[in-house]
Amino acid sequence: MTMPRNYGLAPLGAGIGLRRQHFSDIIDQLPPVNWFEVIPENFLGRGGFVTDALRRIADRYTLVGHGVSLSIGSTDPLNMTLLREVKKFCDACRCPWYSDHLCFTMVDHVNLNDLIPLPFTQEAVKNVAQRVKIVQEVLERPFLLENVTYYMQVAKSQMTEPEFISAVLEEANCGLMLDVSNVILNSSNHGFAPVDFLDSIPLHRVGQLHLGGFEKQGDILLDTHAKPVAEETWALYQEVLKRIGPTSALIEWDFEIPSLARLLQEAVMAQTLMDEVTQGHIPAT
């Protein structure tokens, strides 16, 4: 059976994350950005300046929702209140799809305030898959899971990371938000070849890409989102594009946030590489 590429999602080109620091510049300058990724948790239950700015920006640009607190891998009950709020948010902003992370952020009703890796086990696969189905039912739009960085392997006796991701995507029948930088980080921190990783996951399910900066701390690379996209990430990004063709690629820069102009330079780079690599390219399906 032929599988649609990009998980059937329209490739939007290069975009940037919508951050409060840039609201006024975006509203005043209306920069040429294909799309913005927006974190609903930064707006839910809030009014005033942030929602006013969001409304203005949503009127002009395509917004794609990206969550940080669904805690899809947790054993706590799914936060249905949050999920319904996210649904309303996505409807209001006309988000074509939604994504969150393949990890857990809360357990025993305690917030861990980080993306904690799941054990690569069949039990975790089943748990995530069941919850993703509920998420998809409520959101009524395509849902993508993002591969996260992991500095420790909670359980590695059953399967590898690509086997785990593949099993989750197949069982949940959802898309993949492929964080290219995370592949580089994990390959460095755990000793595998990034291209081997690419060739071990169902690339037809990749609906969106993330590109972010990282930093070396001691003997590990840390996913800080506080730096420009690294050379090795750009190189792997091109490998991904060769395999899947044009897609939606997002520059993540969440700390030590630069000027809007500097951020847009990164987006231009992402778009230029995408155009160069995918020109006339008919990717395998």
Partner 1 sequence: MTLNHLLSAVRELLLDEETKAEAIDNRRAEIAKRFPQLEKTEVDDLATIAPERMRVYTELIYNGEVSMLRWVYPVTFAVLSRLMKIEDDANARRTFFFDLIRKLHRFRAWGSDSSRLLAANFQDFFIETKPDLQKSWPGLLDIIDYEKTSVDVFYALDVPHRAMAVTQLSTLSVGELLDLPVFVPACVAMRKFQHDVMQLGAQWRDEDKLPDHLPSRSENLAVCGRDVQSLMPKWLTMDGAAYDTICHVSSAGYMTLNGVAAIYLQKQSWPDEQTEEIQFRRFFQELVTWFSAGVICVKNS
Residue 228 CB coordination number (10 Å): 18
- Comparing C-alpha atoms, which of 138, 142, 217 is closest to residue 185? 217
User: What is the Cα Rg of the chain in Å?
Assistant: 18
Q: Which of 108, 191, 231, 282 binds partner 1 (CB under 8 A)?
A: 108
* Residue (112 or 195) nearer to partner 1, CB: 112
Q: Which residues, 29 to 48, sit near partner 1 by CB under 8 A? A: 41, 45-48
Number of residues forming the site for partner 1 (CB under 8 A): 43
Q: Choose, by CB under 8 A, the member of 11, 31, 119, 283 that binds partner 1.
A: 119
Q: Is 51 in the site for partner 1 (CB under 8 A)?
A: yes
Residue ranges with strand state E in the chain: 13-17, 35-38, 62-66, 98-101, 104-107, 110-116, 143-146, 175-179, 206-212, 215-217, 220-222, 248-252
Select from 195, 222, 257, 269 the one that contacts partner 1 (CB under 8 A).
Answer: 222
CA distance 153 to 51: 39
Question: How many residues can be counted in the chain?
Answer: 285
Contact 198, 235 (CB under 8 A): no
In terms of CB distance, is 112 or 235 closer to partner 1?
A: 112
Cβ neighbours, 10 Å, residue 107? 14
Q: For the window 149-188, what string marks contact with partner 1 as x by the rule CB under 8 A?
A: --xxxxxxx-------------------------------
Which CB atom, from 50 or from 261, has the smaller least distance to partner 1?
Answer: 50
**Binding interface with partner 1 (CB under 8 A):** 41, 45-52, 69, 71, 73-75, 79, 82, 104-114, 116, 119, 121, 123-124, 127, 151-157, 218, 220, 222
